[in-house]
Amino acid sequence: MKFRQQLTLLILVQFFCQQALLAQIPQVPSQMEFAGLLVKINPQAQREIQLDVDAQYRNPSYFNVKRDRVNLYLPIVERELRAQGVPEDLKYLVIQESGLIPDAVSTSNAVGFWQFKQGTAEEVGLRVDAQVDERKNIATSSRGAALYLKKHNNQLDNWMTALVSYQMGLGGAKSYFGTQYAGKRTIEVDRNTHWYFKKFLAHKVAYESQTTRFVSNPQRLVETQVQGPVTMAALSKRFGVSEAHLKEFNKWAGNGRIPAGSFTVFYIKEGSLPLEPAVIKTEEKPKKTQTYTASSKSSPAYKQANSYPRISGNTTKANQPNQITVNELDGVQASRTTSPEKFSEQIGLKEKKFLRLNDLDADDRIETGKYYYTEKKKSSADVETHVVMPGETLWSISQKYGIRLSSLKSKNRIRKDAELKAGMVLNLREPRKRGEDIPVVPVSQPAPQQRTEIAVTETRPATSAPSESRPSTSTQTTSRSQSSRVIHNVSQGETLFAISRKYGVTVEELKSWNNIGSQNIISIGQKLVIFTP
């Protein structure tokens, strides 16, 4: 009898909880704003979208757990979208894609918060290997999604069609929508509107009123920068949380261990905590006169260098002022080799100011494809160190990271390029102590330059296809040397991923050989050096 009473009471509690939740279900309006667009929804579409909203609220326990995840992760998503100039409204797409489950896997093998396939993830600069899968990292995957969406919006000129392109690809969206929505600021939603956008609107309606409302105790996701290699067990003692907790919130670390390099670790603490990352360094530092034995290619500083400079903004107009940022500073890309005088005139800066901002002399040359700053560089870089590669200069390193040349020299107590040696590990944040020797790692020397080149021409079929899935239509020329060195001439529509598949190399290798930043930007006519297997 007592058991029956308890069971009845439990059922009644669940019933009233469900009724209370159903009572607060938001209703789909006849019009709403989305990413600067006015969205008008006809009655039939309202009813259709409302069914999806109601479905989100149907199970109170599931909804509450999901709502907590929304409040934990969305502040980071918003931050990354803002940093790339993407409307914050796009944040609801991550709920639609994965329910904010970090290791979610779709039937098509898309993985993580934003459901990236490996090839697309690598194209937007995410690391995916046995040690690290940044698709499961809320910050880096959101950054990648923002870049992907912005790239599509630059061509579609409408955030609704750009959002749908996330599901069907850029080529698919162009074929489906044509140009009917380009530049359009009012969207009419009816029964013929693409289902993916209507489902997105349902998630926006369902969760827009739920942010900042917590079911459990107030919690915040803490971001802490650590230097690997280090185990989760060691970090758990440092942060005062369990090892299992760290593994749960850092599924991007494949084997539960932070590899060599600088990474952001996430964990939860009770109470209102800031979301800005705290910098925590490992206890072990290179000793005086220490020489590294690891190969430079596996060095964390070398891997960091391959992601710089970091380019954001309207990259289709990178050679125009006020369009892109270089390492989060205003910058511009040179479209041709010229003099500082002519270049500064083209971008609307006084020559003396331009020279000062870029640590240049009046007789230096502006080189095609290189990035230059139009605002003052920083006194420190975002990463700790850099491994000097053959051919690099103090100036080229300062430009790579957006650090002032004088600061770079001062931090390392080095004044001239003649003092640079390949393999030196330069400090980019902390000044080197007086009398401290600069560590050196082994680096591979460049291959000999005298080569016999054989021209090879390949003709592709004239079929249009999205760059994510198939090579583009064009005729291109490559040059292959007897020592397996190939010069690839980039043609319209090609991506790093497609080129890497063509030659049997990785995207990271292509970026390393050609000093390509984290945004994976290549331009038509650019010559890429490739060392074939």
Task: State the DSSP string of 297-350.
Answer: GG-HHHHHHTT-S-EEE-GGGTTSTTSEEETTEEEEE-SS-B-HHHHHHHTT--
- Name the β-bridge partners of 39: 32, 187
The residue-averaged pLDDT of 227-240 equals 90
Give the CATH number for residue 421.
Answer: 3.10.350.10
Pick from 208, 241, 265: which residue ends a domain? 208
Residue 279 has pLDDT above 60, yes or no: no
- What is the rounded distance in angstroms from the CA atom of residue 241 to the CA atom of residue 237? 7
Report CA Rg, the chain: 26
- Residue 241's identity, in one-letter code, is V
Instruction: Verify that 171 and 34 share a domain, yes or no.
Output: yes
The answer to whether position 503 is within a domain reads yes
Q: Are residues 141 and 44 in the same domain?
A: yes
Amino acid (1-letter code) at residue 97: E
Residue 517 lies in a domain: yes
CB 331 within 8 A of CB 374: yes
**In-domain check, residue 432:** no
Cβ pair 449, 390 in contact under 8 A = no
The answer to the question of residue 16 being in a domain is: no
For residues 493-513, give the mean pLDDT. Answer: 76
Residues 41 and 107 in one domain: yes
Q: What is the pLDDT of residue 57?
A: 87
Q: By three-state DSSP, how is residue 390 classified? A: coil
Quick check: 257 pLDDT over 60? yes
Instruction: Please state, in angstroms and rounded to a whole number, the distance separating the CA atoms of residues 86 and 149.
Output: 8
pLDDT top residue among 424 and 141? 141
What pLDDT does residue 270 have?
59
Can you tell me the distance from the alpha carbon of 136 to that of 123, in angstroms, rounded to the nearest whole number?
A: 16
Using the predicted structure, report yes or no on whether residue 373 has a pLDDT greater than 60. yes
Within-domain flag for 495 = yes
Q: What is the pLDDT of residue 388?
A: 86
Residue 15 main-chain phi, psi, to 5 deg = -65, -45
pLDDT at 181: 94
- The secondary structure element, H or E, covering residue 409 is helix 405-412
Nearest CA to 147 out of 311, 359, 339 is that of: 311
pLDDT in tens, 302-343: 445 556 788 877 777 888 888 888 888 889 998 888 899 999
Same domain, 145 and 228: no
Residue 94 and residue 163: Cα distance in Å, rounded?
11
Based on the number of CB atoms within 10 Å of its own CB, is 404 exposed (0-12), middle (13-18) or buried (19 or more)?
middle
Mean of the per-residue pLDDT values of the chain: 78
Tell me which of 421 and 443 has the higher pLDDT. Answer: 421
- Do 195 and 228 lie in one domain? The reply is no
Domain boundary among the residues 157, 182, 208 is at 208
Phi, psi of 345 (to 5 degrees): -65, -40
Is residue 191 in a domain? yes
What are the b/e assignments for 205-231, b being 16+ CB within 10 Å?
bbbeebeeeeeeeebbbbbbebbbebe
Tell whether 353 is covered by a domain: yes
Query: Residue 232 above 60 pLDDT?
Result: yes
Q: Is 34 within a domain?
A: yes
Average pLDDT over residues 160-176: 93
One domain, residues 246 and 182: no
Residues 39 and 184 in one domain: yes
- The residue-averaged pLDDT of 504-532 equals 73
Lowest mean pLDDT of 220-229, 381-390, 433-442, 466-475, name the range: 466-475
pLDDT of residue 204: 94
| Same domain, residue pair 132 and 86 | yes
Tens of pLDDT, residue by residue over 57-88, are: 888 878 888 888 898 999 999 999 999 999 99
Alpha carbon separation from 532 to 296, 452, 481, 486 (Å, rounded): 20, 15, 10, 7
Domain that holds residue 183: 25-208
Total number of domains in the chain: 4
Angle between helices 2-23 and 60-83 (to 10 degrees): 40
SS3 helix, strand, coil % of the chain, rounded to 5?
Answer: 40, 20, 40
CB 258 within 8 A of CB 226: yes
Q: State the helix-helix crossing angle for 195-208 and 43-57, rounded to 10 degrees.
A: 60
Strand segments (E) across 340-395:
371-373, 385-387
What share of the chain in percent tops pLDDT 90?
39
Residue 87 has a pLDDT of 94
What one-character DSSP code corresponds to residue 487? E
Q: Which DSSP string do the residues of 44-113 spell out, in sequence order?
A: HHHHHHHHHHHHHHSSHHHHHHHHHHHHHHHHHHHHHHHHTT--GGGGHHHHHHHTT-TT-B-TT--BTT
Edge-to-edge strand list for the sheet holding 311-313: 311-313, 324-326, 329-333, 371-373
The Cα 94–Cα 81 span in angstroms is: 12
3-state secondary structure of 19: helix
Q: Is 419 in the same domain as 458?
A: no
35 with 163, same domain: the answer is yes
Q: Which helix (H) or strand (E) holds 142?
A: helix 138-156
Query: For residue range 14-51, what is the model confidence (pLDDT) as tens digits?
Result: 544 555 445 578 999 999 999 999 999 999 999 999 99
- Whether 34 and 177 map to the same domain: the answer is yes
168 three-state secondary structure: helix
Mark whether 152 and 226 lie in a shared domain: no
Between CA 244 and CA 174 the distance in angstroms is 45
Q: Report the pLDDT value the prediction gives residue 101, as an integer from 0 to 100.
A: 93
Unique residue bearing structure tokens 């870089």: 381
Cis peptide before 229 (omega within 30 of 0): yes
pLDDT for 356 beyond 90: yes
Q: Are 125 and 518 in contact (CB under 8 A)?
A: yes
412 touches 444 (CB < 8 A): no
Predicted confidence band of residue 260 (pLDDT cuts 50, 70, 90): confident
**Higher pLDDT residue, 324 or 164?**
164
CATH number at residue 228: 3.10.350
Q: Which residues contact 297 (CB under 8 A, 6 or more apart)?
A: 444, 512
How large a percentage of the chain has pLDDT more than 70? 77
Identify the CA nearest to 508 among candidates 143, 119, 169, 148.
Answer: 119
Query: Could you tell me the CATH number of the domain that includes residue 62?
Result: 1.10.530.10
Structure confidence at residue 307 (pLDDT):
63
d(CA 262, CA 229): 9
Picking from 251, 283, 315, the residue at the C-terminal end of a domain is: 283
